[in-house]
């Protein structure tokens, strides 16, 4: 018993509360409207700012504006993968059902974002580089990310039992985690057609503020939109997996 007690204190209280599907369902229900409004305002404002007010680029003209979709979706596709792997690891180690559900909900969202990043990149690549697709390290590693997401989704749907499926996909996502630093540093480690990062932590961005401020708004907007979509999926998943529990049944009856 004493051992169990110290175990409880090892992590903050809210972390253990999140482990309760019911509590998680309630808290996401409260957070949803705020993130929804924030996502709507940021994405609308960011899009208008990016398309109408940001200056055109000296070489690419207006076609550079696709980065306002391309960069946020690429960043988020990677963040989403990291989140999926961490949630999977928590599910593996602490046997936390909610973590498994988070990991499962991440996969289709991440796949759509990776696909969006690849598609916008190809559309931009044709007029700028002269080619839709090149097998350079950045593009290929990003394609592998998409396949990892699809693999996780396929594996999850191939296994009937929810717990086993969560364990197997968690291991697959952890193995695939090695791809994330490869995507990030591909443009620094190898000769690629894709340009190096415009934003570096240690240096001034290679872009004036009137161009990167709307980009920042779009990135934050994408994160909020991702939070909304993830919470919606997670709530669905909670209801599905907990459908036999009394609180879900009560909830269904009260509607």
Partner 1 sequence: MNPKRKRRLTIVLAILVSVSVAVGLALFALKQNINLFYSPTQIVAGEAPEGARIRAGGMVVEGSVIRDTESLLVRFELTDFAQTVPVEYTGILPDLFREGQGIVAQGAVDERGVFTAVEVLAKHDENYMPPEVAEALKAAGTLPTPEPEVFNK
Task: Select from 171, 213, 220, 251 the one that contacts partner 1 (CB under 8 A).
Answer: 171
| Matching residue, tokens 């290929």 | 140
Q: How far is the CB of 89 from partner 1 (least distance, A)?
A: 5
Q: Binding residue for partner 1 (CB under 8 A) from 1, 12, 14, 130? A: 130
Residue that is written with structure tokens 């949803």 in the block: 32
Q: For residue 122, which of 138, 106, 145, 144 has the smallest C-alpha distance?
A: 138
Please report, for residues 58, 124, 133, the alpha-carbon distance to residue 48 in angstroms, rounded to integers and kept in the order given. Answer: 20, 20, 29
Q: Which residues pair with 132 in a beta bridge?
A: none
Q: Kindly report the number of other CB atoms within 10 A of residue 104's CB atom.
A: 26
208 makes contact with partner 1 (CB under 8 A) = yes
CB 141 within 8 A of CB 183: yes
Q: With beta carbons less than 8 A apart as the criterion, state whether 183 and 138 touch.
A: yes
**Contact flag: residue 168 with partner 1 (CB under 8 A):** no
Using CB under 8 A, count the residues that bind partner 1.
Answer: 45
For partner 1, the binding residue among 17, 48, 157, 188 (CB under 8 A) is: 188
Using the rule CB under 8 A, is 4 a contact of partner 1? yes
| Tokens found for residue 222 | 């994408």
Q: Is 129 in the site for partner 1 (CB under 8 A)?
A: yes
Q: Does 112 bind partner 1 (CB under 8 A)?
A: no
In the complex with partner 1, which residue's Cβ is closer, 36 or 151?
151
Extract the tokens encoding 104.
Answer: 């499962």
Which of these, 88, 183, 193, 77, lies nearest to 134 by C-alpha position?
A: 193
Binding flag, residue 15, partner 1 (CB under 8 A): no
Q: Which of 20, 112, 128, 168 binds partner 1 (CB under 8 A)?
A: 128
Told to check if 192 binds partner 1 by CB under 8 A, we report yes
Binding site for partner 1 (CB under 8 A): 3-4, 7, 10, 55-60, 64, 89, 92-94, 127-131, 134-137, 171, 174-175, 177-178, 182, 188-193, 195-198, 206-208, 210-211
């Amino acid at each position: 018993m004493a051992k169990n007690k110290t175990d409880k204190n090892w992590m903050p209280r809210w972390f253990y509360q999140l482990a309760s599907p019911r509590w998680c369902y309630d808290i996401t229900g409260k957070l949803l409207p705020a993130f929804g409004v924030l996502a709507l305002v940021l994405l609308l404002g960011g899009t208008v700012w990016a398309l109408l007010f940001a200056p055109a680029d000296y070489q690419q003209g207006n076609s550079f504006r696709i980065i306002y979709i391309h960069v946020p979706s690429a960043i988020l596709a990677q963040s989403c993968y990291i989140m999926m792997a961490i949630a999977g690891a928590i599910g593996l180690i602490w046997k936390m059902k909610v973590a498994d559900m988070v990991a499962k909900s991440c996969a289709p969202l991440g796949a759509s974002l990776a696909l969006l990043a690849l598609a916008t990149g190809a559309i931009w690549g044709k007029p700028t580089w002269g080619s839709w697709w090149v097998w350079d390290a950045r593009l290929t590693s990003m394609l592998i990310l998409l396949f990892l997401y699809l693999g996780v989704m396929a594996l999850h749907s191939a296994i009937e039992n929810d717990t086993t499926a969560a364990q197997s996909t968690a291991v697959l996502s952890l193995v695939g985690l090695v791809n994330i630093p490869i995507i990030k540093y591909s443009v620094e480690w190898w000769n690629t057609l894709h340009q190096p990062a415009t934003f570096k932590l240690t240096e001034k961005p290679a872009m004036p503020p009137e161009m990167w401020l709307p980009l920042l708004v779009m990135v934050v907007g994408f994160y909020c939109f991702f939070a909304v979509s993830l919470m919606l999926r997670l709530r669905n998943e909670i209801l599905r997996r907990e459908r036999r529990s009394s609180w879900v049944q009560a909830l269904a009856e009260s509607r």
